Every structure is written in C-alpha cells, then in structure tokens.
Structure 1
C-alpha cells in the first residue's frame, strides 16, 4: 500500500518498518475518529503527544485485552440484530479492533455481519440508521455521481474495490430501497476479514433508483428517494454513468455488483465485463462455490464432470450462472460447447426450459428442443416439471436454486438414487426454511449415499454410525480471494479462466473422500484459503495478459496485498 491521504488530520503510509499512522489531530478528535482511535491501547507516551491525558482511564491495555472485553460484550447481546448493531457500534468507535474481532471469530460472526442477520438489518435500516457509512447515489441526481464518489477523499490510485447494489434483489427479501447499502458494507467487511482487502481502499455504494416496496414508500422515516423504481433507458443511463465515472476516477478498482434484480443482473454483467474489471457475486461467486462443491463431489463419485447429467431447479440468474460455469469447465477439459450444454437441464417458473415457452435471453442456450422431448413420460401432458425431468433424464447432479421448500421430495430423490450410486444433491436456497430438502432427509432417503451441499448452514447429520458434515456453499469461500487476486495483479478484467482457477483451488483445499467428509473447506479457515485463491486468480490474470502489476514473485505479491488488523505505529505530526 502506498501512502494514502484520507483526512487532513491523519495519514496512513509505509516506511521501512511497516505501516505507520501519522496523526495531526489532538485530544477528543482522536478518540472520536474510528479510523485512528485505539482507545485504552494508546501508550502513555502516545497519550502525552496526542493530548489524550485525562481523556482515558489510566490503565493501558493490549489489543488482546480489548478483544477479550469486546467479545464478552458481544456474547452478552440477546438477539442476532442486537449483535449486528453492537458490531456496527464497535466499527464506528475503533475500526482496527472491529476487524480483528471479526477476523478471529469469522465463522461465528459471518452470519451476523452478512446473511442471514443482515436481511433483518436492511429491512429496518431507516429506523436504526445513526451514522452514514457508504456512498449514496440518487437516480434523481446523476450529475452528482462524481462529487459523491470523490466525497471520501480518495485519489485515483487509492481505491481497489467498489461494491454497489441497486437493492432490487436483496438476499431472499427482494426490493429494499436505500437500505441495501448495508449489504455492500457487509460484503466489504467480509472482503477485509476474509482476505485482507484494505478497509480504507474500498467504497460501498447504493444506487438509489427508487423502490417498488410500498411499505417503504409509505414509511414516514424511509430515507431513500420516494418514488417507484425507475426502469428502462433512464435506469441504463444511470448505471452507465456510474460505471464510466467510477472507472475514470478509480481506474484500478474492481466493480462488484451485488443483489441486482433478475431482469438486470446478467444483462449488466454481460454489458460491461469485457471492457471493465467487473464481477457479480450472485452470478459468478455463487456459481464458483457451487462448482467447487461439484468438483469435490465428482472426485468422490468417480464419474468425470463431462459424464454427469445435471438438473438445475431454479434456472434464474444464479442457476444459469452455475450452468454456464460448469459448461466452461467441461470445455476446459476438452468437451465441445454444444455437448457440454447438452449435459445440463434447467427448470424455471414454467418448468423445463424448452422450445415453445417464454424464456429470458440468458436462459435460451439451455432450452431443450421439442424433438428431444418427444417420447418423454409425463405426469401431465404438456407439463415438464421436476419429477418428470428426473424420471426421464436420470440425473447424477441435482441443484436447487428455486426457493421452493421441499421441492426435492422423497419420491424425486429416490428416483434419482435408483440410477446413480453417489447422487450429488445441493439444495441451495436460503434461508434454511426455503431449502429444497433437508440434509438429514437426503442422507436417509439415499441410505447415506448422497453427496450434499447446502446454501444455508446445517449441523452434521448422524446416520448409521457416520457423522456427515454438511458443506455450506457460502460465497465467502470464493469472492474474497478473487478480490485479493484482482487487487494484487491489478487485473484489467475478470475472465472465465480466473473464475475457474478459483473454483479448482477451493475444490483442492479439502479432502472429500473420507466417509461423511464435507465437500467444501470450513469457514474458519477463510484467510489462508483466500490467499490461495488470490494466488491462483492473480496467476491466471498474468497468464492471460490481464495483470498490470508486476508479479515476479507472486506469493510475495499476495502476502504484501493482505492488510492485517494490527494497530500501526503512531507518529504525532
């Protein structure tokens, strides 16, 4: 990290001994600023030079002591939302301590700072709002985009990552208007805690294009623009202005899209991915972690990916993203694209994607021909539902992105298991009560043969004396490492090969062969995993000529790119 001027009262930089924080502020101004405040960890000399004597208790504590104290306070919070708000308050008070606490308890706190708890926080955003954290861009003020993006004081080389949402497809709760800014803040917290992306070199952005949520529009304390969601040409012009302005101001920043609606997510990604360094976690990140679980399961099943028959129930933005990535990986293994696509069957709201029904542009490559379906045995003529597809296709992989709880019925699973020794079944819909099936049922119905990954966390399943650890296909296993690799390489784009490099790295990071073993790594080991993913992504970028930073020593480049939540040395100026 180069020297970064963030505020006229302080400056971060590097010297021969590591990170140094130069502080011009004095007294209560130091304690009021979360970026430079370290509370009772200021030494006696630092208190003297910074004018803090008398403003803190006499005792000087270490960060370790502070961590013990705030962790006890965290555990004392009664509800998940209370814990979320406690962490927010800590973030507002002492940023380094916040990230240290989060990184040391990432498995426990990830469901608090991100899904599922953040969904409740977003719903109630306008009610608990107390401090701005993020950049708010209004479709009613497109001319203000540049000023808003510059308002944090960053220079052209001082932003590595921008996470933006228009809040239309927030998690499983839909349109949440301006409150969606919290999802970008949560995402960036994970980037920092899981991969060491420097918290001062990122921007959380909400693209406030209105909301169709009438509850919000009629809430007197709602903080967003008060009109229906804007669509069409005006929306596209606003998005384009954001992309071009952000890239012009911060040319090395990766543009991360988060929780856009189905009608826009794939379209926006496809429009900009060849010209800008842009990434959609709901499409590419979800696809990558699911593909990693598939690759682990394929290793156990003994059947190559190209010979699998894959059914995706819920072939929307995420489902088709998974399908595309699996097809790309087959093609990398030497399969021609048409044959690879023929291995995937997708079901949408009208059943099997096929000729003669309305499908979205991004679904079209996976629509089956009428000739192919001739002779199928159907429960109801003209209807191609999940049970029909399983009966006729005999899938070896069944993936659920439908948000239809219980869609993987006992009969469907038993039909699948009859023709497949090690069925790979992934009910991915969140939260838990929307999962297509429970892992316990899947293991029971297949007599312990199913290889299972889920979208929500589930406890281990005990069956016939074996404890089955259920892999959670959590995007946090992938996207932080992708961001780290892109940052270290200063990649100009994110290619398919960079994504598949991440997939194969995650799949290699776990041994799924022992009985009951998880198909994916544990969340508790995110930082070392992210470093490995980052290295693979950076090397893939270099191989394709997309890296603009020197990578003569790639391992050192990744190590140097990781920010660690330690108090830097303080120099009063």
Structure 2
C-alpha cells in the first residue's frame, strides 16, 4: 500500500479568528480554497447567530449550553462573540459564574481542545518557548489573564481545569469592554493540585502531584511574570483565583513594578466602593463618615476593606481614622490585635479589647459587634447563608436611618440574607446590593431594584482604560476613579433605585469606566499614551464582532 496523502484543511476554516463558516461568500470561498467545503447557502452573521441561539434554546442544561459555546469559541470566534455581545445578560451565567464552575470540574472529561497556554511548574524552562509559539510581537498582546486555580470561585482547587476561568474572564473583557480577543491570552499556571479527586482520576490532564508551595512556587511565578512582561511589555497582567496568601503577595511584590491586577482583591473592592458611594448619595451622607463591618475577613473581604479605607482617605480622612472605622469579623468573631492567628492583611483592622471594654479571650459575634461599632454599612463576604438574621437587620436600622446591607457571597444559596427579607425586616429602609442576581422586591407600593455588585461592571472598563492610556502601572487612583464612574452611572435618587448600573448596558458602563481610568492614569503620571478626544479613542479601540 502506497503513501497516503492527507487532505489539507483550509486555514480559513481551522483558524478561529478567521473562520466565518457559511458566512463566507462564494467569491471568498473560491479565493481561499474553500470550494466545495461548505454548504451552498451564504448566511449573514446575524442569521448564523440566530441559528446558534435556537440551538441553545433546545438544550436542557446550562452546562450543555456552556459546552456548545465553548466549541463555537474554539471554532468560530466572531460568531461566539456575536452571541455574547447580543445576549450578554442571558449568556453571562452560562459562560462565566455559576456554570463555569461545573465546566471546570468536568474539564478533563469534556476536553476537546482549549484556547490559551498551559505552563507547568515541572518544566519552567518551557515558559519562554511557550510564549514564542504564539508568534506575536511585543505590541501584539494587550491583556493576559492567568490562574493557578487554587481558589476557583466557591469550589476550591481544580488544577489545570482552571484555564476555563481565565478564558471566561477574557470573554467578558471582550463582550463587555470591547477588548480585541486577538490581543488577549489565557494562561494556566499548573503547579499541581491538592484535590485528591483529580489526582486519582486516570483522565486528569494536569501535572499529577500535590500543589507546590514555598520557594519553588515563588520562583515559578516570578519566572512567568518576568517572561510575560519581557515578551509583552504593554500587557495588563491579570491574576485570577489565586489563593489568599499568594494573591496579596503577588500584588505587593509587583504592583509598583508592572501593570498587574487581581480582580478578586481589587475588582471586588472597586465595585463595592461604587455601591457604598451610591448609598451615600441615596442617604445624603459623606463617604468619610461611614462605619463599616466586613463579615468575612478573607482575601475578598479585606480586599474590599482596603478599597473602602482608601476611598475614606480620598474623602479627607487619615489612614488611621479610616482603618478605625472598619471592623472585620472572621470565624473567630470580631478581630482583635491580641489574636495569635491574625493574617498580616487583617492586622490594620484588628481592634483593641481594652478600648472597647472587651475581656481577654471573649468572642464578639456579629450582633455584639454592631452594638459596639454602630455601623452604617454591613458587608457580607462569608458564604454563611442566613448570617444576616432579622435581629441583625433590625440592629442595623437602629444604628442609622438608612443602613447599607450588602450580602455579597455567591452563589445565591450562600448569601448572608435574601433581599426580600432585608427589605421587610428593615421596613424598606435598607439600601441593598448583592453578589448574586436578585429579583426586584415589592414593599408598601415601592419596587426595590436590587443592584448586583458584579465585578463585570468594573474589570472590562479597567482593562480598556489601561489599554488606551498605555498605563505602566495600575494605581489606586485609577481603581478609585473606576469605582466613582460606576457610582455616577447609577445615581440613586428615589426610594427603590438601584445603587449600581445594570449589566444590560455594559458596553456604555465600560466606556465610562475606561475614560475615568484613563484620566486617572494621566493624572498619576503612569500613562504612556494621550488622546485629544478620549471618548473617540475609546470608541475607536472597542472591538465589535462583524464581518465588515
């Protein structure tokens, strides 16, 4: 038997960023060598999108929809982003939280190919060559999202499957912020996993050993960051779902050196600051006058506390005053400075027992802390369902006329309280924002629209603002400007108004955030690009899925 000639598959069909499927005209098919490779009909992008939308409607589960869209993303990028752009509110829960968590858990079972780079701690020498396989020049990548998958959403350590959280994040950067997907990159930093279910799975696709820590881990992360910056010096380096200690360590080490961003810490903080800012507008107070309890003092909770502290300082207080106005509660109760197991990032918010009249070793729970602090704001980042009881809400309304109560934990099953209960228990006085989507609440003839403190309100605009400014660093001023821009878009005036803008108009929100971030980058002296008409520059930079 002679040699077999393998049929050539045209690049125009095998390259996701080039493929138009049956959208190729007959003239394009002849020119690109596609004659006979496609059915004869020629469909517009809109017609193709309608076909996919109908296919999605026939599927029984969001996981099935996620897998269909993932295959489309891998095959036909323009059509994928046309779907997301046209149906973002409906599809965001499918391509990102909560469905992406299930897809990550099934990554090795459902693997059909994946976008992005896979970098292994077992082959650090391959980091540079892996970047080189992209064939991209130093100005060709604007944004890199990486994860080591230690703290994926609410499901923990899922190893190499975490690449999908990076891909999902980038999809929202594009659909919500107009960032060109051809100028982005998802990266899996595979440092092992402590998930025994994965290690015992014969089909698991990641490195098969426990999660590396300490010096070996630090050297690998350093090598990745330095290589990524060397290859793409203008790119924003986004870190997603790292463990608490590593997330803050990376920000502290590289935040003043390169343009780095951690959405779990900085993005969450910025959108909550925006909600609090909206609350001060609604109840006629100043940001610097707020007293805040953070219920859940982990990475996300303290990240929010740090952003709120900086916003209080920006409104005229000292750092010491701002920190004294923030009270943090963890599983051991209110944090005190004599606790042996305090993490370094919790220390600024730990209180002195003697000053509060609390006996040594005495545990102070949430209700007692409210009585001590007389807070105006209660933030939940604990994932403790039902923690904000009727007694807690009533105690908050006793402290101030219109308290802000934000059960921010995801998913809905882990929310500290349901908005309908908070409205009723507070007799309509509480100002509410949630981490999960929540339906409007009717009470005494008023419709209360519940704003969702979703990071997607902020990170696409931050990314776009960094790109148009060419920012060397992501400064605190830029984060504060992003939060302020979001608050101004909501501008709650009447009872029941949302404290935050709706994700339905995300492109407009991202444009406003990008403009504010750009102006702050210029003011902070970190911008390397300037524009006479920044609004026009934003519109010119925004990418749209089109065949034109």
| TM-score (norm: length of structure 2) | 0.96
- Is 2:179 the counterpart of 1:207? no
Q: 2:55 maps to which residue?
A: 73
| Number of the residue aligned with 1:478 | 458
2:147 paired residue among 154, 165, 170: 165
User: In the alignment, is residue 194 of structure 1 matched against residue 166 of structure 2?
Assistant: no
Give the CA deviation at 1:381: 7.0
- Please tell me whether residue 373 in structure 1 is matched to residue 373 in structure 2: no
Q: Partners in 1 of 2:161 and 2:186 — Cα distance?
A: 12
Q: Is residue 514 of structure 2 the alignment partner of residue 529 of structure 1?
A: no
> Residue in 1 aligned with 2:380?
400
Checking the alignment, whether the CA contact within 8 Å between 1:27 and 1:52 is kept in structure 2 is no
Structure 1 residue 252 corresponds to structure 2 residue 237: no
CA distance in 1, matches of 2:219, 2:361: 45
Contact map agreement 2:288 2:316 (CA 8 A) in 1: no
Please state whether the residue corresponding to 1:526 is helix, strand or coil.
helix
Q: Identify the range of structure 1 (391-400 vs 177-186) with the bigger mean alpha-carbon deviation.
A: 391-400
Q: Contact 2:108–2:204 at 8 Å: present in 1 too?
A: yes
Task: Return the offset for 1:545.
Answer: 1.3
* 2:440 match: 460
The aligned residue for residue 201 of structure 2 is: 219
Counterpart for residue 254 of structure 2: 272
Mapped to 1, the partners of 2:114 and 2:44 lie a distance apart of: 29
Instruction: Please state if 1:62 is matched with 2:44.
Output: yes
Show CA shifts across 1:124-148 (max 9, x none): 1110011121111111111111111
- Find the aligned partners of 2:353 and 2:13 in 1 and give their Cα distance: 69
The Cα of 1:326 is off from its aligned counterpart by: 1.1
Q: Is the 8 A contact 2:74 2:114 kept in 1?
A: no
Within the alignment, does 1:359 sit opposite 2:342 as a pair? yes
Q: Matched residues in 1 for 2:82 and 2:191: separation?
A: 35
- Could you tell me whether the CA contact under 8 Å between 1:198 and 1:562 is conserved in 2? yes
Which residue of the other structure, out of 6, 13, 33, is the alignment partner of 1:31? 13
Aligned equivalents of 1:492 and 1:67: distance in 2? Answer: 38
Q: Take 1:336 and 1:381, find their aligned partners in 2: how far apart are those partners?
A: 30
Partner of 1:556: 536
Inter-partner Cα distance in structure 1 for 2:242 and 2:446: 41
Secondary structure of the corresponding residue to residue 521 of structure 1: coil
1:264-286 Cα offsets, whole Å, 9 max, x none, are: 11111111100000000000000
Structure 2 match to 1:565: 545
Q: What's the CA shift string for 1:369-420, capped at 9, x where partnerless?
A: 122221x5x9x97011111101221211000001111111111111111221
Provide the rounded CA distance (Å) in 1 between the counterparts of 2:205 and 2:147.
Answer: 16
Tell me, yes or no, if structure 1 residue 242 matches structure 2 residue 259.
Answer: no
Post-superposition Cα deviations, 1:56-75, rounded to whole Å, max 9, x if no partner, equal 22222211111211111112
**RMSD of the TM alignment (CA)?**
1.5
Instruction: Give the number of equivalent residue pairs.
Output: 541
C-alpha distance in structure 1 between counterparts of 2:264 and 2:490, whole Å: 23
**What residue in structure 2 maps to residue 47 of structure 1?**
29
1:352 Cα deviation (Å)?
1.1
Of the three residues 112, 115, 134, the one matched with 2:94 is 112
Equivalent-residue separation in structure 2 for 1:523 and 1:386 (angstroms): 32
1:82 to 2:64 alignment: yes
Query: What's 2:362 paired with?
Result: 382
Inter-partner Cα distance in structure 1 for 2:24 and 2:205: 37
Tell me the CA shift for residue 27 of structure 1. 6.7
TM value normalised by structure 1: 0.92
Partner-residue secondary structure (3-state), 2:336: coil
2:77 aligns with one of 95, 110, 122: 95
Quote how far apart the aligned CAs of 1:488 are: 0.8
Tell me the equivalent position of 1:128. Answer: 110
| In structure 2, C-alpha distance between the alignment counterparts of 1:365 and 1:421, rounded to whole Å | 28
| 8 Å Cα contact 1:159-1:203 kept in structure 2 | yes
- Equivalent runs, 1:339-354 vs 2, <5 Å: 339-354=321-336
Aligned equivalents of 2:10, 2:186: Cα separation in 1: 27
Q: Which runs of 5+ in 2 are unaligned?
A: 1-7
Secondary structure of the equivalent of 1:395? coil
C-alpha deviation, 1:567, in angstroms? 1.6
| Aligned-partner Cα distance in 2 for 1:74–1:243 | 38
Whether the 8 Å CA contact 1:27–1:50 is kept in 2: the answer is: no
Give every structure 1 segment of 4 or more consecutive aligned residues whose post-TM-superposition deviation is greater than 6 Å.
none
Structure 2: how far apart are the matches of 1:159 and 1:89? 23
* CA distance 1:381–1:548, change in 2 (3 Å): closer
CA contact (8 A) 2:379 2:405 kept: yes
CA distance in 2, matches of 1:132, 1:521: 33
How far apart, CA to CA, are the structure 1 residues paired with 2:441 and 2:310?
A: 33
Q: Which moved more, 1:64-73 or 1:49-58?
A: 49-58
Aligned to 1:487: 467
Cα distance per residue 1:76-109 (max 9 Å; x no partner): 1110100101111111221101101101111111
Secondary structure at the residue paired with 2:442? strand
Gaps of 5+ in 1: 1-25, 569-573
The answer on whether the counterparts of 2:466 and 2:518 sit within 8 Å (CA) in structure 1 is yes
Establish whether residue 547 from structure 1 lines up as the match of residue 527 from structure 2. yes
State the partner residue of 2:3.
none
1:169-220 Cα deviation digits (max 9, x unpaired) = 0000011111100000000000000011111111101111111111110011
1:315-365: CA deviations, max 9, x gaps? 111111111111111111211111111111011222111111121111111
